[in-house]
Amino acid sequence: MSKKILLEKANVENIQTMEVYRREGGYRSLEKALKMAPNDIVEEVKRSGLRGRGGAGFPTGLKWSFLAKPEGVERYLVCNADESEPGTFKDRYLMEFLPHLLIEGMIVSSFAVGSNVSYIYIRGEYEWVTDILDAAIDEARKAGFLGKNILGSGFDCEIYIHRGAGAYICGEETGLLESLEGKRGLPRIKPPFPAVKGLWDCPTVVNNVETIASVVSIINEGGDAYARIGVGKSTGTKLISACGNINKPGVYEIDMTISVEEFIYSDEYCGGIANGKKLKACVPGGSSVPILPASLLLTTAKGEKRLMNYESLSDGGFATGSMMGSGGFEVLDEDQCIVRHTLSLARFYHHESCGQCSPCREGTGWMEKILQKIEHGKGEMKDIDLLWDIQRKIEGNTICPLGEAAAWPVAAAIRHFRDEFEWHILNPKECLVRNYGLGKYAEALITS
């Protein structure tokens, strides 16, 4: 049984309330942190090895230390709760069942970085979660944990919630800041980085929900204790959103020493592939990371068991590896169509592109059209090479990572499943029958 840090109290009845959360030891880290110097908190987070849990995996304490501190200028902490990555839902789980854990982490982190006004930017569709967080913030304020002179420390802090309008692009931190300022959520050119010029041109730290919630345990138990969990640079625990063709979909907390094989097949986690099917492939870190076939998913390029951590999942680069990403673990069984799956993702990224960069604006549309052509039985062999060329010209040529997020799934699908693309092109009728059956829609496609 893996050690639980974040979800240890998730099943305690009424843990969403201040009364029960306090009874279970809540807000101890805040009481401890307010007796520490802010720089000491930053150093504790550095010692913990905590990496950003939103996807990039950048060291959190190091990110905090980059924050500019000009005299007389406000600093801001912004929690990125705009969880819009397909296949990822662990932040929603934390906010829904442990809202005070996030609020406590927000206050401690705000004190550490010197933010007196902090924000939670939440996905617009999470309306009911917003209500839960609003109630928790109100309880924290009434208990004296928010507002003026918190616990007599002289530190003032307020937390406000801002609901987005359902745009995936606002998960990118500068697009989020633009939206928070009331503008269209278009990512900014960097530098300057938010640590220097962020919200309203002030120094700003943006961290995601899981990252901020993890700070509570680090302060309570110490950075060294947190660092002893996990392996190498993958310290602490990680929340995984497991979904797809598995027996037990859900949110799991792992310590990043377990193997991918154990995570998929053990009863403690996913419980194996549903309906007795075989494993075909997996997207291990949310829709934007490269898909891996079963052979590369379970074993690294070095022939070792692949582990559920940052280094092991990326072993060998994209030729043989993928990324931990946001922890959206999507499992595909032997009956799933890779071309259809890739088309679904391409359609999403085309829809969510902000249109600011030509390679992304035009390229995502081209990829969707070509994939749709192949999937609907009208593809040509040259379309595969054209897809490869388009994704190559998107990657690295956009202001924000949405271009890479759209390109990588297509590249990985062709790299590992080119034979399946070729089968679609050479067997259009069988492809349509397999995917859609012999209904009117499939017949119309076949005869058109």
Q: What is the per-residue pLDDT across 191-236, written as a single tens digit (0 to 9) for each?
A: 999 999 999 999 999 999 999 999 999 999 999 999 999 899 999 9
pLDDT tens per residue, range 77-122: 999 999 999 989 999 999 999 999 999 999 999 999 999 999 999 9
What's phi and psi for 328, nearest 5 deg? -85, 100
Overall average pLDDT of the 324-348 stretch = 95
Question: What's the chain look like in SS3?
Answer: CCCCCCCCCCCCCCCCCHHHHHHCCCCHHHHHHCCCCHHHHHHHHHHHCCECCCCCCCEHHHHHHCCCCCCCCCCEEEEEECCCCCCCCHHHHHHHHCHHHHHHHHHHHHHHHCCCEEEEEECCCCHHHHHHHHHHHHHHHHCCCCECCHHHCCCCEEEEEEECCCCHHHHCHHHHHHHHCCCCCCCCCCCCCCCCCCHHHCCEEEEEHHHHHHHHHHHHHCHHHHHCCEECCEECCEEEEEEECECCCEEEEECCCCEHHHHHHCCCCCCCEHHHCCEEEEEECECCCCCEEHHHHHECCCCCECECCHHHHCCCHHHCCCCCCCCEEEEEECCCCHHHHHHHHHHHHHHHCCCCCHHHHHHHHHHHHHHHHHHCCCCCHHHHHHHHHHHHHHCCCCCCCHHHHHHHHHHHHHHHHHHHHHHHHHCHHHHHHHHHCCCHHHHHHHHC
408 touches 286 (CB < 8 A):
no
The answer, yes or no, to whether residue 304 has pLDDT greater than 90, is no
pLDDT tens per residue, range 154-199: 999 999 999 998 899 999 999 999 999 999 999 999 999 999 999 9
391 touches 273 (CB < 8 A):
no
pLDDT, position 433: 77
pLDDT band at 445 (very low <50, low <70, confident <90, very high): low
Overall average pLDDT of the 141-147 stretch = 96
User: What's the DSSP call for residue 307?
Assistant: B
The helix, strand and coil proportions of the chain, stated in percent and rounded to the nearest 5, come to 50, 15, 40
pLDDT, position 166: 85
pLDDT, position 446: 55
pLDDT, position 428: 83
Task: Give the CATH number of domain 234-333; options: 3.40.50.1460, 3.10.20.600, 3.40.640.10, 3.10.180.10.
Answer: 3.10.20.600
Task: Give the CATH number of domain 18-222; options: 3.40.50.11540, 3.40.50.620, 3.30.460.10, 2.60.120.260.
Answer: 3.40.50.11540
C-alpha pair distances (Å), 151 with each of 27, 211, 436: 11, 24, 62
134 touches 161 (CB < 8 A):
yes
DSSP 203-227: -EEEEEHHHHHHHHHHHHH-HHHHH
> Reduced to 3 states, what is the DSSP secondary structure of residue 382?
helix
Least trusted range by pLDDT, from 284-298, 314-328, 365-379 = 314-328
Place of tokens 């943006």: 206
The answer, yes or no, to whether residue 301 has pLDDT greater than 90, is no
What's phi and psi for 117, nearest 5 deg? -130, 120
Sign of the alpha-carbon torsion through 31, 32, 34, 38:
negative
pLDDT, position 316: 84
pLDDT, position 69: 85
Token readout for 305 is: 């068991």
Overall average pLDDT of the 36-57 stretch = 93
Q: What is the chain's alpha carbon radius of gyration, rounded to the nearest angstrom?
A: 23
Q: Output the average pLDDT for the chain.
A: 93
Task: Report the CATH number of the 338-447 domain.
Answer: 1.20.1440.230
Maximal CA-CA distance, the chain:
77
The domain locations on the chain are 18-222, 234-333, 338-447
User: What's the DSSP call for residue 283?
Assistant: E
